[in-house]
Chain A
Amino acid sequence: GQQVMQIPQYQHVQEGEDFTTYCNSSTTLSNIQWYKQRPGGHPVFLIQLVKSGEVKKQKRLTFQFGEAKKNSSLHITATQTTDVGTYFCAGPKHNQGGKLIFGQGTELSVKP
């Protein structure tokens, strides 16, 4: 079945270092969404990418959607302790409307 895979599962960085998480889908996606879940919190929508090769920035966060629309990445420049949490990518299930398939997430910890 359709799968969305994320790597790495865990990432520990020193504050100020960069961080990247990668998302790969087994099928072409119409769009991809990214969510962040803080420890003890709930997933919060960050961004949606729709176009092939699209790049979007939110302050220190850069999101990319691959040319083939099967992969995506999230890059954080100069991490801060406020970046701690689990980052999920999610893609729509083919022909099932709003149903999203979430990746397993990348848990980011930042050492001050």
Chain B
Amino acid sequence: DSGVTQTPKHLITATGQRVTLRCSPRSGDLSVYWYQQSLDQGLQFLIQYYNGEERAKGNILERFSAQQFPDLHSELNLSSLELGDSALYFCASSANTGTAYSYEQYFGPGTRLTVT
């Protein structure tokens, strides 16, 4: 158990819909990362938050957005869903302070999103 929790575990929805994925980081970790994992794309970094502020952005679509709340949990919002958005979405957390040094990341169990 990594200490990172994600809900829901599975999500099945239709094209055009909007969903919210939730993540609670390990106790004490200020950084939260979101990744998308699909069969043909590997682990793709989406976005990082540190203590409530966006810190780094990856190949995140404009239809996707995220935020980190004062209690440090994070939500990833996916809207206007397309079939190609079907994937595993992982949240990870680390003690990273936002400096150049990178700490190890602890991954949650993931949310499997299926868009039909």
A residues contacting B by CB (< 8 A) are 30-31, 33, 35, 41-45, 48, 88, 92-93, 95-105
Check B56 against A96 for contact (C-beta < 8 Å). yes
Given A88-B43, A98-B33, A104-B42, A42-B2 contact (CB < 8 Å): yes
Q: Which of B16-24, B74-82, B102-110 contacts A (4 or more CB under 8 A)?
A: B102-110
Contact of A33 among B99, B104, B108 (CB under 8 A): B104
Give the total of B residues in contact with A, Cβ under 8 Å.
28
Contact of B94 among A41, A42, A96, A98 (CB under 8 A): A98
- Minimal Cβ-Cβ distance residue in B for A45: B104
Given A42-B2, A42-B90, A102-B45, A97-B96 contact (CB < 8 Å): yes
B68 at the interface (CB under 8 A from A): no
Given A33-B102, A92-B102, A97-B48 contact (CB < 8 Å): yes
Kindly state the separation between the CA atoms of A31 and B104 in the bound complex, as whole angstroms: 11
Contact of B56 among A30, A35, A45, A97 (CB under 8 A): A97
B98 at the interface (CB under 8 A from A): yes
Kindly state the separation between the CA atoms of A6 and B64 in the bound complex, as whole angstroms: 28
Kindly state the separation between the CA atoms of A95 and B96 in the bound complex, as whole angstroms: 14
Q: Is the interface of A mostly helix, strand, loop or mixed?
A: loop
List residues of chain A with CB within 8 A of the CB of B98: 97-98
List residues of chain A with CB within 8 A of the CB of B105: 33, 43, 45, 98, 100
Given A97-B55, A97-B96, A98-B94, A30-B107 contact (CB < 8 Å): no
Contact of A98 among B55, B106, B108, B110 (CB under 8 A): B55
Check A99 against B94 for contact (C-beta < 8 Å). no
Given A31-B102, A43-B90, A99-B56 contact (CB < 8 Å): yes
Looking at A42, A93, A95, the one whose CB has the most chain B CB atoms below 10 A away is: A42
